[in-house]
Amino acid sequence: KQEVTQIPAALSVPEGENLVLNCSFTDSAIYNLQWFRQDPGKGLTSLLLIQSSQREQTSGRLNASLDKSSGRSTLYIAASQPGDSATYLCAVLYNNNDMRFGAGTRLTVKP
């Protein structure tokens, strides 16, 4: 069964702190992995996409890594800001055109 797990479920940090969000998946036969941000009551905004052949992707203060063999990805956020507060979702695309999501990590950055 293809499952995606995100840890922690919720995280609260003071502004300026660096933080890491974790995502693990049970089936390593993935096509790619995508990190999303979701604000309350809104749709998903794509943050980073890592192809299965890649090890990491960077966008501004965000860095996502992928270790396909161990079934893990991390999203690193540097110098966190209150505007980063949101739920972060990890999604794995499998070769059968099936995208599976984790339950998300709810991040709160306190001023």
Partner 1 sequence: SQTIHQWPATLVQPVGSPLSLECTVEGTSNPNLYWYRQAAGRGLQLLFYSVGIGQISSEVPQNLSASRPQDRQFILSSKKLLLSDSGFYLCAWMRHTEAFFGQGTRLTVV
Can residue 4 be called a binding residue for partner 1 (CB under 8 A)? yes
Q: Which residue has the tokens 């507060």?
A: 85
| Stretch of 18-26, 38-46, 61-69, 78-86 contacting partner 1, by CB under 8 A | 38-46
Closer by beta carbon to partner 1, 43 or else 111: 43
Judged by DSSP in three states, 95 sits in coil
Residue closest to 62 by CA, chosen among 88, 25, 93, 94: 88
CB-based contacts of 99, cutoff 8 Å, min separation 6? 34, 91, 92, 93
Q: Show the tokens assigned to 19.
A: 């933080």
CB of 97 to partner 1, least distance (A): 7
CB of 23 to partner 1, least distance (A): 11
| Stretch of 12-20, 62-70, 71-79, 91-99 contacting partner 1, by CB under 8 A | 91-99
Can residue 43 be called a binding residue for partner 1 (CB under 8 A)? yes
Gap between the Cα atoms of 99 and 49, Å rounded: 13
Can residue 98 be called a binding residue for partner 1 (CB under 8 A)? yes
CB of 74 to partner 1, least distance (A): 18
